[in-house]
C-alpha cells in the first residue's frame, strides 16, 4: 500500500470537517485513509492503533496527514509515533508543513518543535476552557452544546424543558418506574417516542445528574464521559 492517510477531529461536533481532510489526502495520492473522532491527547485511538499496526507490519511506505497535530497533541507520544515510522522506513508528510523526519539532527529538531507546539496549543485551549467553565459553574450555567433528551437551551446558557420532549421524558421515567427494565422500556419507546435509544444509552440518560436538576459540569468517575 503506497500511501496511507490519517485524518482526525476531536469531537462529533467537528465531524463535518472530516470529509474535507479525507478529500485532501485522497487528492494527494492516498489509496486508503484512516479516520478518528477523538481528542488528540488520547493515545488509544482506534484508527491510530490500526495505522501503527500497518506501519509495523510493513504495509505502509508513506503516511500523509493534513497537519502534524492530526497525529496527536501529546508531544512525547507523537514523537514516539514518528520514531516508529522512521524505524520502519515510513516517510511522514504533512500537507500543511512538508516532510516530517527525525533521522537528521535538523529534522529531529523541527519535528520536536511541531509536536511541542501542537501540545502547547492544546494545553492553552484546555486552560481557557477550564477558566470559562469555572465561571459558568459558579453561575449555574450549562456547559456543553448537547442537551439531554427532554431539555432545550434557554437564555444565558441555562436549560429549560423542551415543549415537545419534556412530556415524553416524564412518560419514559414513569415507565421505567413501572417496568424496572431499560431494555424493555427502550423497545417500548420505539412505538411512539421521537427518541429511540439503545438500552445502554437509555440507562446513561437516566443516570445523568442533569435529569435530576443538577448541572453536570464534571465527568463520570467510572467512564470518564461527560454527563451532558
List active site positions. 10
The residue written with cell numbers 414513569 in the block is 174
Phi, psi of 46 (to 5 degrees): -60, -45
- For residue 137, give every residue at least 6 positions away whose Cβ sits within 8 Å of its Cβ, in sequence order, or none: 143, 215, 217
Taking the alpha carbons of 212, 217, 218, 224 in that order, is the dihedral positive or negative?
positive
Residue 48 in grid coordinates: 491510530
CA separation for the pair 193, 19 (Å, rounded)? 32
Q: Which contiguous run of DSSP H or E holds residue 151? A: strand 151-153
Instruction: Report the DSSP pairing between strands 91-94 and 62-65.
Output: parallel
Cα-Cα end-to-end distance for the chain: 41
Count the neighbouring beta carbons within 10 Å of the beta carbon of residue 109. Answer: 11
CA separation for the pair 197, 89 (Å, rounded)? 46
Instruction: Report the DSSP pairing between strands 151-153 and 159-161.
Output: antiparallel
Amino acid at each position: 500500500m503506497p500511501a496511507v492517510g490519517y485524518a482526525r477531529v476531536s469531537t462529533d461536533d467537528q465531524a463535518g470537517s472530516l470529509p474535507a481532510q479525507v478529500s485532501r489526502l485522497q487528492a494527494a495520492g492516498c489509496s486508503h485513509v484512516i479516520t478518528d473522532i477523538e481528542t488528540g491527547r488520547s493515545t488509544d485511538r482506534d484508527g491510530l492503533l490500526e495505522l501503527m499496526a500497518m506501519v509495523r507490519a510493513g504495509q505502509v511506505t508513506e503516511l500523509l496527514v493534513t497537519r502534524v497535530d492530526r497525529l496527536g497533541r501529546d508531544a512525547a507520544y507523537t514523537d514516539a509515533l514518528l520514531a516508529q515510522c522512521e524505524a520502519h522506513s515510513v516517510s511522514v508528510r504533512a500537507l500543511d508543513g512538508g516532510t516530517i523526519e527525525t533521522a537528521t539532527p535538523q529534522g529531529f529538531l523541527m519535528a520536536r518543535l511541531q509536536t511541542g507546539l501542537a501540545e502547547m496549543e492544546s494545553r492553552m485551549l484546555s486552560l481557557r476552557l477550564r477558566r470559562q467553565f469555572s465561571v459558568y459553574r459558579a453561575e449555574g450555567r450549562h456547559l456543553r452544546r448537547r442537551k439531554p433528551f427532554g431539555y432545550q437551551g434557554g437564555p444565558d446558557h441555562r436549560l429549560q424543558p423542551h415543549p415537545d420532549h419534556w412530556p415524553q421524558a416524564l412518560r419514559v421515567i414513569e415507565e421505567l418506574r413501572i417496568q424496572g427494565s431499560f431494555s424493555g422500556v427502550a423497545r417500548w419507546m420505539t412505538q411512539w417516542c421521537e427518541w429511540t435509544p439503545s438500552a445502554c444509552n437509555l440507562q446513561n440518560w437516566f443516570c445523568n445528574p442533569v435529569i435530576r436538576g443538577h448541572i453536570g459540569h464534571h465527568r463520570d468517575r467510572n467512564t470518564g464521559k461527560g454527563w451532558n
